Amino acid sequence: MTIAVDKLSDPAVRRLLGAVNAGDRDAFFAALTEDATMSDDGSARDLADWVDREIFSSHGHIEVQTEKSGGRALVADYRNDTWGEMRTAWRFTVTPDGRVSHFETGQA
């Protein structure tokens, strides 16, 4: 059973993943701090390059299966046109002003 993105516990994560599923790059970056960072399978990545390649140019979509840590740790089925569908884990660091400053993703 999936958890609808608009029902996720953390508002910052909800905004970020809502932007992913809407294909809205501007809203995605608005949900991040200006100096946001990310990692994929434990390796730091260039955020803008990764997001364009793995989400926006390849029609990324996320379906959350479970959430923990107040909605900042997720297991989700993620799919895009490049890799198909895979079970992924996501962790988010959220600043006091309610934006994501870092996220980690990788295979679950």
What pLDDT, in 10s, does the model give residues 90-108?
999 999 999 999 999 999 9
Give me the phi and psi of 12, to 5 degrees please: -65, -45
Residue 27 in this model has a pLDDT that exceeds 90: yes
> What's the pLDDT at 1?
82
Tell the CATH topology of 5-107.
Nuclear Transport Factor 2; Chain: A, (3.10.450)
Annotated domain spans of the chain = 5-107
Q: What tens digit of pLDDT does each residue of 34-81 get?
A: 999 999 999 999 999 999 999 999 999 999 999 999 999 999 999 999
The C-alpha atoms of residue 85 and residue 15 are separated, in whole angstroms, by 22
Structure-token match 């079970």, residue found: 87
